[in-house]
Amino acid sequence: MTRPVVLGYDGSRTSQRALVRAAEAAGAGGRVIVVTAVPRGDALAPAREPESAIDEPARLLEEAAARLDGYGVDVSTEIDEADPVDALVAAARKADAQLIVVGARGESYVTRALRGSVGERLVSQSPCDVLVAR
């Protein structure tokens, strides 16, 4: 049995490309674990309306699962309130994943200066290979 692929999904165009790469890496009959992180109390995250903060993660995971349906992969989903890097690394460790796949994001200079880029942090902390889709 092949090891699963962890996908970080936020609904952006690049995360939709990452979804395709994750499905291809998992292959038919493989497993993709879709993770959406919704950090609480993050001063650098965009403000969210209370209703959308509750509904949005579940909607994103349903969207990802529907998109993955045609690839013949087994899909599981997780909503995590941790920092996105922490959530993806924890999911990869727990599942003994072969790969983490994420979409590239254009972070502001201030965000990168204060906490580093997500990609850099993910690569340095990941227990497996990381693929960043553009």
Which residue in the block uniquely carries the two structure tokens 């674990």?
33
In a domain, 120, yes or no: no
CA distance 101 to 88: 9
Q: Is residue 132, in this structure, part of any structural domain at all?
A: no
Taken as a whole, the chain contains a residue count of 134
- What is the domain count for the chain? 1
- Rounded Cα distance between 118 and 120, Å, is 6
Residue 108's φ and ψ, nearest 5 degrees, are: -70, 160
Is 129 a domain residue? no
CATH of the domain at 82: 3.40.50.620
pLDDT tens column, 11-51:
989 999 999 999 999 999 999 999 998 877 654 445 444 44
pLDDT at 111 over 90: no
| Domain that residue 96 falls in | 5-105
In the predicted model, what is the mean pLDDT of the chain? Answer: 84
In a domain, 118, yes or no: no
Does 115 fall in a domain? no
Q: Do 32 and 4 touch, CB atoms closer than 8 A? A: yes
